[in-house]
Structure formats: structure tokens, C-alpha cells
Amino acid sequence: MGTIILDALVDPDVYFATTYITAPYQLRLPLGISNGESITLYFKAEWISPDVLWSTKSENLGPIAASSTAFYHFDSVRDSITLVNDELDEVMTLRVTAYTDAGYTIVYGYKELVVTIHWFDYIGTSWTRLYYDNFDDGAAHGWVGWNAGPTTAHFLSPPYSFGVTYPAEYYYTLSKTFVCAGYTKYRIVFHVRWAGTNRSIIVGSTTLIPTYISQMTSSDTWFRIAHVLVTGNNLVSINANKLLAAEIRMYVDEIYVIGK
């Protein structure tokens, strides 16, 4: 198994904001798996000895040909969760097992990775709100981007988001720097809607969504990003090119930065 590589894209620390989401909670974990062997192998992802409240805890991912790499979403479901002071850190062991047959009966080997899931409620009273950008007043609130601004084209909360709709070939970035001070723990939650190519999202020094897995995210649908911030300056940037035969569409709304 030395040439089978498992990577939780992009970070073994996963942040899940439960706010306004009704249980059960679906966790979608992107995985990159490389098969360096000389035969096709079939891969299965599963949590090892999870809490009993995980009702869906394994998934057959499918085959990867010899000397090939594939990217997957591992979808699992937790039926409910109880937060303590509006958060809970759950340490889990992720195992990806390789099989030589499509029936997933003959084990070739496996790899394991420890993943910490940071569950939290970003409107909970245990957190202090440091930033809240919803653009409802029509102001940019420190967000910048070429040809971008408050727009009514798409929004999560009416009447505005911050974004750009433009038909020209160009590489676009929506960005803002958040300054965190006075607390020992910080979280950010923001909501993105985009369409284009070479998409990526970077928070501080971490590329949360690299271009090579951006095609696994929703296009022209709002989705939520949650992550950790650090003391000091934190640059958040949302990036994309346009498709040659289409326009770029990229929006951000309902941004929270909290600390405790």
C-alpha cells in the first residue's frame, strides 16, 4: 500500500456551521486518492467507530485505474448533534480501503487519516460577532473587486450581495482583509455563488478550494464556506475565470466573523 495516497482536500480540520441547517447534517468531504499500483482498485471510504448518531458512515467510491488519481466526495450523515457553548470538536478516523474486486470483498489494503470536525453555531451567544457583512445598505463594507460592487443580480439576503456579472475574458477576484484581535479563537462563515473556470477560494494562507477540485462545487447555486481565522490580518479571496462562451458570475453574501 505504499503507493496508494490518500488526501483529505484540503485540510484534515473540517469546519461545519450548523446555523440555520436542520438535522440530519450531511458532511461532504472531498478526497483525493492516487492508485500507484499496476491493477485497477476499488475504493471505499468510512468512518471508523463513529458516534452512534452517524447513520450514514461509509460509501463505495468506485474504481481507480492503475497509475491514476481521482477526486471524490465522501458523503456521510450525522442525525443530530449537541453543542457545548455553541461548538463541538469531534475527532474521527477516516479509513479508505482498496479492494481488488467490484464487489468490495477482497481487501488489498487501506490508509487512515485523523480528521477533526469543528461543529459550531455562528449566531450562538458564546461567540462575539466581530464582522457581519450583508450589503443590505448597498455599501461594499471593505470588499473589493474589479468591476464588482453591491448588486441585486443575485443575493442570499435581499436586496444586495457583493459581486460581479461580466461577459469579458478576465480573471476576477473578490476579496477583503479581516483583522482579528482580542480573542483566542476565530471562525469565518460566508456564502458564495459562482460560475466560471479555474475557481478557487483562499482564506489566509489556506487554499480551501483549489482550482483542481473547484469543479466539484456547485455552479450558480449558493453554498456555505466555514473556516478558522488567526490573530492579525486574514485575507479572504474568491477567484474565477470566465468560460470562453459565457459570462463570469461571482457573488458573496452573509459573511460572519466571530471570536471567543
d(CA 3, CA 7): 13
pLDDT recorded at residue 162: 97
| Residue-wise pLDDT tens digits, 193-242 | 987 667 788 898 887 776 555 556 667 889 899 999 999 999 999 887 76
The 10 Å Cβ neighbour count of residue 259 is 18
Q: Which of 169, 178, 235, 232 is nearest to 201 (CA)?
A: 235
pLDDT recorded at residue 68: 93
Q: Which superfamily does 4-120 belong to?
A: Immunoglobulins (2.60.40.10)
Cell numbers for 22: 436542520
Q: Which residues contact 126 (CB under 8 A, 6 or more apart)?
A: 85, 86, 87, 260
d(CA 102, CA 42): 6
d(CA 243, CA 10): 25
Q: Which residues contact 144 (CB under 8 A, 6 or more apart)?
A: 174, 175, 176
pTM: 0.90
Q: Which residue has the cell 467507530?
A: 49
- Domain at 128-259, CATH class: mainly beta
Q: Which of 34, 54, 30, 53 is nearest to 43 (CA)?
A: 34
The 10 Å Cβ neighbour count of residue 136 is 15
Give the N- to C-terminal CA distance of the chain in Å, as an integer.
Answer: 43
Q: 30 preceded by cis ω (within 30°)?
A: no
pLDDT recorded at residue 244: 52
Residues of the chain with CATH 2.60.40.10: 4-120
pLDDT recorded at residue 38: 93
| Residue-wise pLDDT tens digits, 159-185 | 999 998 776 667 788 999 999 999 999
pLDDT recorded at residue 67: 92
pLDDT recorded at residue 239: 84
Amino acid letter, 26: Q
Residues of the chain with CATH 2.60.120.260: 128-259
Helix extents (H) in the chain: none
Q: 14 preceded by cis ω (within 30°)?
A: no
| pLDDT by position in tens, the chain (length 260) | 334 454 554 468 999 999 999 999 999 888 888 899 999 999 999 999 888 999 999 999 999 999 998 888 899 999 999 999 999 999 999 999 999 999 999 999 998 889 999 999 999 999 999 999 999 999 999 999 988 999 999 999 999 999 987 766 677 889 999 999 999 999 999 999 987 667 788 898 887 776 555 556 667 889 899 999 999 999 999 887 765 556 678 899 999 999 99
pLDDT recorded at residue 201: 87
Identify the bridge partners of residue 98 per DSSP, sorted by sequence position: 43, 109
